[in-house]
């Protein structure tokens, strides 16, 4: 599939920008993780879909088990990862990044 980027060049695949972060630590102001640049957007979005399925299952488990907060916390951290993936794909699309990262 060919897409047109902002410079009117055609790129076979849009890729992640490598800008979005997740896993903020309270001890330091820097995030612990970053989305890798150059991952094809379709693969990043497929991973986001898998993580969202995990989140949906964990929130159902967490809702049924009010005494154990572990599933809810796991869903929270997975949600951060999904948001970073989707944000980074969006930045890559906005910047017109092709498979070569340009």
What residue segments make up the domains of the chain, in order of their start?
Answer: 3-95
User: Minimal CA–CA distance to 59: which of 76, 82, 81, 45?
Assistant: 76
Q: SS3 letters for 58-86? A: HHHHHHHCCCCCHHHHHHHHHHHHHHHHH
| Predicted pLDDT of residue 10 | 44
Across 78-102, average pLDDT: 84
Residue-wise pLDDT for 7-27, tens only, equals 544 455 799 999 999 988 777
Whole-angstrom distance, CA of residue 90 vs CA of residue 95:
8
pLDDT level of residue 1 (50, 70, 90 thresholds): very low
């Amino acid at each position: 599939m060919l897409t047109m980027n902002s410079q009117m060049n055609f790129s076979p695949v849009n890729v992640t920008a490598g800008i979005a972060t997740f896993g903020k630590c309270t001890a330091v102001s820097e995030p612990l993780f970053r989305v890798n640049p150059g991952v094809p957007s379709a693969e990043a979005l497929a991973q986001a879909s898998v993580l969202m399925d995990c989140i949906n299952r964990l929130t159902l488990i967490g809702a049924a088990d009010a005494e154990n907060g572990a599933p809810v916390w796991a869903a929270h951290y997975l949600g951060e990862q999904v948001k970073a993936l989707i944000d980074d794909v969006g930045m890559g699309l906005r910047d017109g990044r092709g498979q070569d990262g340009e």
